[in-house]
Amino acid sequence: MSITLQDAISLITLEADMLDHGDFHDWLKLYTPEGRYVVPIDPDVEDFEKVLNYAYDDAEMREKRVVRLLSGRSISAAPPARTVRLLSRYRMLESSDTHCTLRCAQMLQELRQGRVHDYAANLNYRLEMTEDGLKIALKVVRLLISTEALTAVSYIL
């Protein structure tokens, strides 16, 4: 049976909830060992390895990112930014019993040092069915303003 849209939504909204509430260690477990978390700059690029991105994280870099955010040794993350994100406009693009790809919209609001920033993004996911259930094999955060000047983002989009 193909992976259903409802199963996919359950996983990625769980991810959103964990990121907004700082459950970063649990967040790491949502990914496959080969999984990638990518925040590209170029809106059209697919071959992320060959170009400069804001983030191109394999398992090792994701773990380092989490350690950094929780360490208290990064002044941009201590105190941490607070975020609220909403996911919506889900569409399954392709689905089988082993994997699926879907995309959705994300609206995120960040509060840090008394300042509010808004980031709209298209999220593209590739999910894979594993022995431990459905996992994220690829998450691509395509920020609406990726080619504009950003401000520091010391959290996980």
Partner 1 sequence: MVWMVLFGGVPHQEGYTGQLDKSKLPLISLKVEEYNGLIFASFDKDIMSLDEWLGRAKPWIDLFMKQGAGWPVKTMGEHKFTFPGNWKIQLENTTDAYHFPIVHKSFLDSVDAETQNTFDFVEGAGFVEDLGHGHSVMVMIPELVDLDEGLDAPIPERFAELAAELAKDYPDEQVRKIVRAVGGSGFNLNLFPNLACSMAFFRVLRPLSVTETEIRHIAIGMDGGPDIANEVRLRLHEHFQGPMGFGTPDDAEAWDRVQRGSLAGKDISILLNRGLGHEARREDGNLFSDVSAETGMRAAYRQWLIAMSEEAGA
Q: Which is nearer to partner 1, 33 or 50 (CB)?
A: 50
Cβ contacts of 111-118, under 8 Å, gap ≥ 24: 111/81, 111/82, 111/83, 112/79, 112/80, 112/81, 112/82, 112/154, 117/151
Shortest Cβ 83–partner 1 spacing (Å): 14
For residue 102, the tally of other CB atoms under 10 A from its CB is 21
Cα(2)–Cα(96) distance, integer angstroms: 4
Residues between 28 and 87 with contacts to partner 1, criterion CB under 8 A: 39, 41-42, 49-56, 61, 64-65, 67-68, 71, 73-77
The mark string for 109-128 relative to partner 1 (x by CB under 8 A, - otherwise) is ----x-x-------------
Cα(97)–Cα(4) distance, integer angstroms: 9
Shortest Cβ 34–partner 1 spacing (Å): 16
By the criterion CB under 8 A, which residues form the site for partner 1? Answer: 39, 41-42, 49-56, 61, 64-65, 67-68, 71, 73-77, 113, 115, 148-154, 157
